[in-house]
Amino acid sequence: MTPPPDYERLGFKEILVRLEGAVAVAVLNRANKFNTFSTLLVEELVQVFDLFDKDDRVRVVILTAEPTAPVFCAGADITAGWDAMRGVDIASKGHQAHRDRGGRVTMAIYNCRKITIAAVNGHAAGVGMTGLQLPFDFRFVWEGAKLSFPFVRRGIAAEAVSSYLLPRLLSHSRATSLLLSGATVSPTSPLISSLYHQILPTREAVFPAAKAFADELAQNTSQVGVAYTKALLQHPGESLEENHLLDSRAFSVLVHEGDAKEGAMSFKERRPPQFRDTLSSTKTPWTPWWRPLDVSPKL
């Protein structure tokens, strides 16, 4: 078994990562570049969420920016055109070979089996609205943030899997309004407010609120119960009946593990639970029940 990673010594440059108890915190570290997406930032985010997923010590993850940064994330830097966002050589490989960078970050965050929280303490545009917010389980936001989805105003389409996630998160009426108008809205707008778990009055209040929420969840939730619930939400049955089969098995598997026993016992004894099961210690394999799709380019 490999030792758990020491996040502060892994050499990340464009994010700062620390572990506080069972809560991992990643901070965007490109304030002087408006926290825009760079090739390195994408690689570091993909890597660190993969590490969080596998690290049994981590129960909750928070992504945030410095509250003194000019923005949470200004999206892609397109002042020199789109070249920085291009990956493969289309002329020889074809459009099918391209893999959107925003989407790669989205997938890494969405597939992390821990509780994930975006603490949006500044303005956000483009992939700062999509890849850095939509795949999270919870979003905390500053009331004064300007939030924009400018894709159709830049000649491109909704990216970073936002056409899949936003309608599911908000329903199609709101998602269509936001993506087809290229709107800039405030978190309290009825078009977007239901995206957010909590809206805070100041930039400085966002991270502390998210951190207190994370700490409480880290102490009182089961890592395996969370991961199984996330898997059911992300991969439900195709019918009520099929979902009943899936969550029936979930109950049967989990109730034989230690966390369910501790959950019932602590509830009876009216004390906080001491959950000890981890994803790597859980004895019964239970995922995936869906068909995984390999999206690596066939070059």
Q: Which residues in 29-88 contact its own copies (CB under 8 A)?
A: 78-79, 81-82, 85-86
Rounded distance between C-alpha atoms, residue 38 and residue 85, angstroms: 8
Rounded distance between C-alpha atoms, residue 259 and residue 157, angstroms: 44
Stretch that binds its own copies, among 12-20, 23-31, 190-198, 202-210 (CB under 8 A): 190-198
| Token reading at 41 | 């930032």
The only residue of 33, 54, 146, 197 in contact with its own copies, by rule CB under 8 A: 197
Site string for its own copies, 236-255 (x = CB under 8 A): xx-xxxxxxxxxxxxxxxxx
The only residue of 171, 280, 281, 287 in contact with its own copies, by rule CB under 8 A: 171
Binding to its own copies (CB under 8 A) within 99-128 occurs at 99-100, 103-104, 106-107, 110, 115
Strand order in the sheet with 184-185: 124-125, 147-148, 184-185
Distances (CA, A) of 148 to 131, 193, 202: 13, 13, 19
- For the purposes of burial, counting CB atoms within 10 Å of the CB of 199, is it exposed (0-12), middle (13-18) or buried (19 or more)? buried
Residue 289 makes contact with its own copies by CB under 8 A: no
Burial state string for 81-106 with b = 16 or more CB within 10 A and e = fewer than 16: eeeebeeeeeeeeeeeeeebbbbbbb
Shortest CB 98 distance to its own copies, Å: 4
The only residue of 138, 140, 142, 207 in contact with its own copies, by rule CB under 8 A: 138
The only residue of 190, 283, 298, 299 in contact with its own copies, by rule CB under 8 A: 190
CB 167 within 8 A of CB 175: yes
Stretch that binds its own copies, among 31-39, 42-50, 201-209, 291-299 (CB under 8 A): 291-299
Binding to its own copies (CB under 8 A) within 215-234 occurs at 217, 220-222, 224-226, 228-230, 232-234
Shortest CB 122 distance to its own copies, Å: 20
The only residue of 8, 10, 18, 180 in contact with its own copies, by rule CB under 8 A: 180
Place of tokens 């009182």: 220
